[in-house]
Structure 1
Amino acid sequence: MADASLDPLDRLTAERACERLIVEFVHELDLGEPGRVAALFTADGVWEWAEGDRRIEGRDGLRAYFGARPADRLSRRICTNILVTLTSASTATATRYFTTYRVDGHSGGMLPPRPPTQVGHYEDTFRKVDGRWLLSRRALFLAFGGPTENVGGAGGNL
């Protein structure tokens, strides 16, 4: 439930900070350094999957998990329908849809198009810590998912 007592400018600023975290997360995974996404979480942050027993806790665990991403993985995530709701002056929630295109074994160049590997949504919880908004929990919900294709060095130009 949204906190109606917040000043509209404070609300807008907080919502934008949370939206930016969502975008930074995707940017680091696809174009940056995956291990750096741990810095976007609170010290006790959690990443979990709604189905199964996959749960990563704490910045060190998150850094190790995301830092272990294969070096030859090529991915692009499309994020839409970001809806941030402030629940207090220092907490918020968000949902967003995502589509992930991903292959392993990429050695460079453009690849022919492939179907998405995953389609789903995230449910996020944010907390303001020392004046900075951070993710405290992210839960992943897949509607569609499949294995990551290994292209075995099938890069090249089209």
Structure 2
Amino acid sequence: MTDDDMSPLDRLLAERACERLILEFVHRLDLGEPGSVADLFTPGGIWEWQADGRRVEGREALRACFAGRPADRLSRRLMTNVLVTVTSPSTATAVSYLATYRVDGFDGRMLPPRLPANVGHYEDEFHRTGGTWLLAHRRTFLPFGASTERVGPPRG
């Protein structure tokens, strides 16, 4: 079966599943357990950052990368302009825009508004394995970015 043989409903369900992965990803980073984003990737999944050439490959490496975030980090990501393209019954791509608000040293108090730390977009590849859609490759493009602001006392 090619992507042209997919019913409109199957295409819509595939698009929605990939869209949901994009949103689940940021939800887990911001409000859940950051290391669990690794479970949204295929076993050999890849995340790379175009700006500095960093590349993390495989679920365990991804888990270590995200679980290693500072415990006092507060982040909120806004995702928009999500465009999923189903390329076959088991593959899809997407482009989505992001704005990341992030500080370290968060102690639970409300903070004054600030500019985003990053603004850019993701380019994703998805694979459907065993009926489940997963991220196979995520590329991050950040044309606007700054280092993470520290709002509390320095870690000692």
The one-letter amino acid paired with 1:148 is T
Structure 1: which 5+ residue stretches go unaligned? Answer: 154-158
1:118 offset after TM fit, Å? 0.2
Q: Structure 1-normalised TM-score?
A: 0.94
Distance in 2 between residues matched to 1:74 and 1:13, nearest whole Å: 33
Could you say which residue in structure 2 is the equivalent of 1:134? 134
Asked if residue 99 in structure 1 is aligned to residue 99 in structure 2, the reply is yes
Pairs aligned (count)? 152
1:110 offset after TM fit, Å? 0.9
Could you say which residue in structure 1 is the equivalent of 2:59? 59
The one-letter amino acid paired with 2:31 is L
Q: 1:57-84 deviations in whole A, cap 9, x for unaligned?
A: 0000000000001110000000000000
Distance in 1 between residues matched to 2:51 and 2:101, nearest whole Å: 21
Summarize the alignment of residues 1-158 of structure 1 with structure 2, pairs less than 5 Å apart: 3-152=3-152
The one-letter amino acid paired with 2:140 is L
Q: 1:100-154 deviations in whole A, cap 9, x for unaligned?
A: 000000011210001110000000000001110000000000120001000015x
Structure 2: which 5+ residue stretches go unaligned? Answer: none
Q: 1:13-56 deviations in whole A, cap 9, x for unaligned?
A: 00000000000000000000000000000000000011222000
Distance in 1 between residues matched to 2:6 and 2:40, nearest whole Å: 24
Q: Structure 2-normalised TM-score?
A: 0.95
The one-letter amino acid paired with 1:17 is A
CA RMSD of aligned residues (A): 1.1
Instruction: Calculate percent identity across the aligned residue pairs.
Output: 65
Distance in 1 between residues matched to 2:51 and 2:99, nearest whole Å: 18
Distance in 2 between residues matched to 1:7 and 1:26, nearest whole Å: 30
Distance in 1 between residues matched to 2:71 and 2:112, nearest whole Å: 20
